[in-house]
Structure 1
Amino acid sequence: MPGVQVPFSRYVALGDSQTEGVGDGDDLTGLRGWADRLAAHLARHNPGLRYANLAVRGRLAGQVRAEQLAPALALRPDLATVVAGVNDLLRPRFDADEVAGHLDAMFAALTARGTRVATLTFPDVARITPLARPLGHRVTALNHRIRESARRHGVAVAETTRHAVVTDPRLWSADRLHAGPLGHQRIAAAVAHALDLPGSDDSWTHPLSAPATPRPSGLRTCAAELRWAAEFLGPWIARRLHGRSSGDNRTAKRPHLTLLAAERTQET
């Protein structure tokens, strides 16, 4: 719907590595990510849009609340996205009620200020990483609580978990923990659709035009899983054992509300 202006002019994104944009670009050339892509979508329909991204990789839901909520409220957004909880899911000790409580508190504080809030549910991790199958019940439990909290506070939910394309390996980066560029593009489109933004539709739910390459089976599958565990899972566990995080000494990439650069508004 060209010419239709979106009702938002101040967008603030809160979260962890997915919202920061890990998997879409790199730390040398710069990260983009789904929140930047959503901001670009908004800016095409409102060139005066100002955008801040407070997300920092490695943050637990409680840390997102403690570190990002107050700065977000101070920016007086009319739109905010809140996505957190995956880092909690991966920890040995996981309490779905505790994590959901942090999300609920952020939803409540933002909507109480008149902010439109959007979030998303998480996909079945076992379909992305077979070794993560034991975490499936955690994902289900957290998604259920996210939906309940969203209903209470009038938060828009992008239901990514309900569509098979979300676990297509071509949407994920090599570490299988972060979306790749195509995955970030689909997440941005999903959130835009959940918010019923001009120019959005359900095409993000459609399968990719070419069929995916069949997964290897038998010994080849085992070998691939062992390589992934050695390259990505092992270092992640080592950081946890030493009390370190990928987000140590990092700060938000876009802490202030600023206009998007023109080149960033050309595509979602």
Structure 2
Amino acid sequence: MDSLSGVSGTLAELDGQIADIFRALSNGFQKLEKIKDANRQSRQLEELTGKMRECKRLIKEFDQGIKEEEASYDFETNKMLSEKKQSMIKELNSYVALRKKYSSSLDNKRVDLFDGPEVNEGPSQDNGMLASTMTNQQLMDTGHRMMNETDQAIQRSKQVVEETINVGAETAAALKAQTDQMNRIVNELDSIHFSIKKASQLVKEIGRQVATDRCIMAMLFLIVCGVVAIIIVKIVNPKNKSIQDIPGLAPPAPGRKLLWDVC
């Protein structure tokens, strides 16, 4: 870089601080290439981002100092200071590009820690220029562009909110339908439980009735067996006196003789 001999101590001090940061950034990115762990890479990248942010602030102060002391220097000195500033901006942008490269490779989704757009040495890219180096028209164009981007972001946010509301309404309707269906299922289960209870009681009644009928049939069967047994015994042993006393099984009484039969 060109020497800053003959300029104020403030500009020379700022130039030294910026040069120190550039050396730290160079060493930091060289170290970053050797780190394999993603978490360590992320922490190293955040540290380098902080240094770039500090460097950007110092470049703004350097540019402001040039404008304040412009009248004190000749044309060649002012030209040298302007070229020095552009060189600083170019070098910073090279580190910003490296930061973006590593952020993309790490799939870094965090909010960008670098506050504001990156600086640029030429007026052709308004997004990267320092505000202090922009003309009024460039500032207005940049402001309109940022407003348009903000409006688009707000519109996208509104669309997302509307879609979220619609999804929520559909979810609520589905939950209500499922709740109604569950209530119907519970009612049907209650009806089934009541029917099962009634059927159980009916089965018990039928069981008691069948048991009673079986007892009666058993008694009838025993009576029939007794009668059959008596008949069999009577046939086998007709002179059995114990059987003659049973009504209906006693032998027939001797026939009565009529008076005219005797005569």
Higher relative contact order (CA 8 A, sep 6+): 1
Provide the TM-score with structure 1 as the length reference: 0.22
Q: Which has the higher helix share?
A: 2
Q: Which has the higher strand share?
A: 1
